[in-house]
Structure 1
Amino acid sequence: MSLAAAQTARPSTDPSAFAGEQFASALLAWFDRNGRKHLPWQQQITPYRVWISEIMLQQTQVATVIPYYERFMQRFPDVRALAAADDDEVLHLWTGLGYYARARNLLRAARLIVAEHGGEFPDDIEAVQALPGIGRSTAGAILAISKAQRHPILDGNVKRVLTRCFGIQGFPGETAIERKLWALADACTPAQRVAHYTQAIMDLGATVCVRSRPLCVVCPMHEPCIARRDGMQAILPTPKPRKARPERTAYAAILRRPDGAVLLERRPPTGLWGGLWTFPQFDAHEDALAWMEQRTGEASLPTQALPPYSHSFTHFDLTLQPILLHAAREQFAIAEGERYCWYDAKQPAKIGLAKPAVDLIRGLADHVA
């Protein structure tokens, strides 16, 4: 049954009847009074500026994004500047923001926009979705906010608002539930003021209908919201079915010269920390030691085990066991270039560092032999 048919078949007291013009009107009235209107990407709006903000804001809070966004836009004010950038410089500006595939996709997409669209951000949603790293919701948000095109969106904040307001049970990642949410999102998206509406529904999820302890008393959806009515705020959206998270262990080889510089290795362009620089990593302790011996030409290495370092990925938890070797000589017979580089924290190179490298380098001062 379609959403419209379902609404017709239900009593008028069912909150699902609220989907549509009433939902949008209530939300826009709230936005006019309480919405955020002074964020950096809300000024001098262009598709490029909105695109960069939407990618940075994926799974990242506004307060965290703002300084990264401002530095990024200062260095890359338009798509041609980004397309001409060196990979390392882009990853360097992204260091600390996480989810580095976003940065790599931004760079790939910028180059495609220049090569295939003459440097103009496409205004067709299918063409936008064809760019690396841009899905249906992100494409819709970019075009709605920057071009006033009517497209529904369904990011995490919007899913939370809709599942609670309309009492949608079931994990939103399931195909059937996601399809229902897209239908609701489309039904609620107005033809007028679509840019404000799009910002408003994201704001509502980010500032009022938050994950824990939502501020229901000030929510414009207070009356029709099924979750508020039935006390289901804590269980909606339905969480993803829990599975045991795999745990992995690896060994990080840290070669440190007398001048304090450490040897870093560039990760392959795809996979974990793709394209970033970090310490050489091995599955077995003996493999890490063998690599150190080969690179230094020294046997019976006086290595030092540092405290384990834990890092969580989307699908597993990783424990790194760092092995530190203080070099007795200033130079090693190691070919630098595309794969290796010496990194001096006192005069840091502008390269993209994986988070474990950032944290381990920062902590090395506590473990000087």
Structure 2
Amino acid sequence: MSEYTQAIMDLGATLCTRRVPRCSACPLRTGCQAYRLGRTSDYPEAKPRKVLPKRTTCFVIVQNATAEILLEQRPPAGIWGGLWSFPECPPSTDPTDWCWRHLGVEPTQIQIGRPFRHTFSHFDLEIRPVYLRVGDLRPGVSDRGATLWYSKASSRPLGLAAPAMKLLKTLSQ
């Protein structure tokens, strides 16, 4: 029975295709209703798109007085594992409070960026960029693990998460 099932699946994958069905090569065409009725382009039916759950996060984009950008390395497991990205916080977090708690300074400027969507196979992530400028802040950055100050002029290659790369490009324009 498994060979029969596999053969039917192979026919569907190679001959009975949606865009260019090869009915003339199909050994089952005489019994095929779609072929008899001239409706081969109606089959196979398109699968309905899966509705992905939505999540939201804020990327905190911190820039110091020398135009360096704060990046942190993601944990090895999970989304963007081991890549560099911006610090994140829940959307309900006040940017000034976040800056005090994690950097020990008050931002000199706060700007809320335009949200954008990044799609994963299993969910949509809405990213809300929050741009913070801080004074002369450099060493001993955060209690959040591996961090660094990234300079656009730096030639140091980093593995960056795709949304972080997108936002860094907009900063350099």
Q: Is the 8 A contact 1:165 1:224 kept in 2?
A: no
Match of 1:270 in 2: 77
Shift of 1:243: 4.1
Residue identity opposite 2:76 in structure 1: P
* Secondary structure in 2 matching 1:223: helix
Q: Return the alpha-carbon distance in structure 2 between the equivalents of residues 260 and 343 of structure 1.
A: 9
Please state which structure has a larger fraction of its residues in helix. Answer: 1
Q: Is the 8 A contact 2:95 2:110 kept in 1?
A: no
- Say if 1:352 and 1:234 are closer, same or farther in 2 by CA, change over 3 A: farther
Please give the per-residue CA displacement for 1:310-339, whole angstroms capped at 9, x wherever unaligned: 101111111111111122215253169x61
Q: How many positions carry a matched residue from both structures?
A: 166
- Say if 1:239 and 1:270 are closer, same or farther in 2 by CA, change over 3 A: farther
Residue identity opposite 1:3 in structure 2: E
* Secondary structure in 1 matching 2:12: helix
**Aligned residues: percent identity?**
30
Q: Return the alpha-carbon distance in structure 2 between the equivalents of residues 360 and 5 of structure 1.
A: 48
* Secondary structure in 1 matching 2:80: coil
Question: Any unmatched runs of 5+ in structure 2?
Answer: none
Q: Return the alpha-carbon distance in structure 1 between the equivalents of residues 47 and 80 of structure 2.
A: 25
Please give the per-residue CA displacement for 1:111-170, whole angstroms capped at 9, x wherever unaligned: xxxxxxxxxxxxxxxxxxxxxxxxxxxxxxxxxxxxxxxxxxxxxxxx8x7424455xxx
Q: How does 1:207-226 map to 2 (within 5 A)?
A: 213-214=19-20, 221=22, 223-225=24-26
Q: Choose 1 or 2 for highest CA Rg.
A: 2
Match of 2:62 in 1: 255
Q: How does 1:259-338 map to 2 (within 5 A)?
A: 259-286=66-93, 289-299=96-106, 302-334=109-141
Q: Return the alpha-carbon distance in structure 2 between the equivalents of residues 231 and 253 of structure 1.
A: 54
Residue identity opposite 1:223 in structure 2: S
* Secondary structure in 1 matching 2:135: coil
1:163 equivalenced with 2:9 (yes/no): no
Residue identity opposite 1:163 in structure 2: G
Q: Return the alpha-carbon distance in structure 2 between the equivalents of residues 273 and 317 of structure 1.
A: 14
Shift of 1:344: 1.8
Shift of 1:4: 5.9
- Say if 1:335 and 1:281 are closer, same or farther in 2 by CA, change over 3 A: closer
Q: Return the alpha-carbon distance in structure 2 between the equivalents of residues 297 and 6 of structure 1.
A: 63
- Say if 1:352 and 1:322 are closer, same or farther in 2 by CA, change over 3 A: same
Q: How does 1:157-236 map to 2 (within 5 A)?
A: 162-165=11-14, 167=16, 213-214=19-20, 221=22, 223-225=24-26, 229=35, 231-233=39-41, 235-236=43-44
Match of 1:345 in 2: 152
Shift of 1:285: 3.5
Q: Is the 8 A contact 2:109 2:134 kept in 1?
A: no
- Say if 1:292 and 1:3 are closer, same or farther in 2 by CA, change over 3 A: same
**Which structure would you say has the larger RCO, counting Cα contacts within 8 Å and 6 or more residues apart?**
2
Shift of 1:234: 5.8
Residue identity opposite 2:25 in structure 1: P
Q: Say what the alpha-carbon RMSD is for the aligned residues.
A: 3.6
* Secondary structure in 1 matching 2:127: strand
